[in-house]
């Protein structure tokens, strides 16, 4: 059994891409968790079920692509994630 984390599903990565732009626009303050879910629901290129947004955010947190501080989501390691996404086509 490998200790390597399983890769994220393409649609979860798409959610990360959407949220990372929103988080970057928040000027270092992070993105409130409720607003993050609203942004995913409102985005035309993401699934439109609330349960999907919940799953995506939870999975990104559990996979450590995002972390939560003071009720806001932040990018764990922007450079690492950018490199990972650039190697894969979504």
CATH code of the domain covering residue 36? 1.10.10
- Which range marks the domain in which residue 51 is found? 10-80
- Checking DSSP bridges between strand 66-69 and strand 31-32, what pairing results, if any? unpaired
Q: Is the confidence at residue 36, as pLDDT, over 50?
A: yes
Residue 2 lies in a domain: no
pTM for this predicted structure? 0.78
Residue 5 forms part of a structural domain: no
* 44 contact partners, CB below 8 Å, separation of at least 6: none
Tell me what the mean pLDDT of segment 25-51 comes to: 90
Q: How does residue 77 score in pLDDT terms, banded at 50, 70 and 90? A: confident
What phi, psi does 60 have (nearest 5°)? -65, -35
Contacts of 63 (CB under 8 A, 6+ apart): 5, 8
Count the domains in the chain.
1
Q: How far is CA 2 from the centre of its chain?
A: 24
């Amino acid at each position: 059994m490998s200790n390597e984390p399983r890769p994220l599903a393409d649609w979860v990565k798409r959610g990360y891409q959407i949220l990372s732009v929103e988080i970057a626009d928040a000027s270092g303050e992070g993105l409130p968790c409720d607003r993050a879910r609203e942004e995913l629901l409102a985005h035309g290129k993401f699934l439109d079920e609330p349960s999907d947004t919940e799953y995506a955010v939870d999975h990104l947190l559990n996979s450590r692509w995002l972390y939560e501080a003071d009720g806001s989501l932040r990018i764990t390691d922007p450079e690492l994630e950018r490199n990972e996404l650039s190697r894969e086509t979504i």
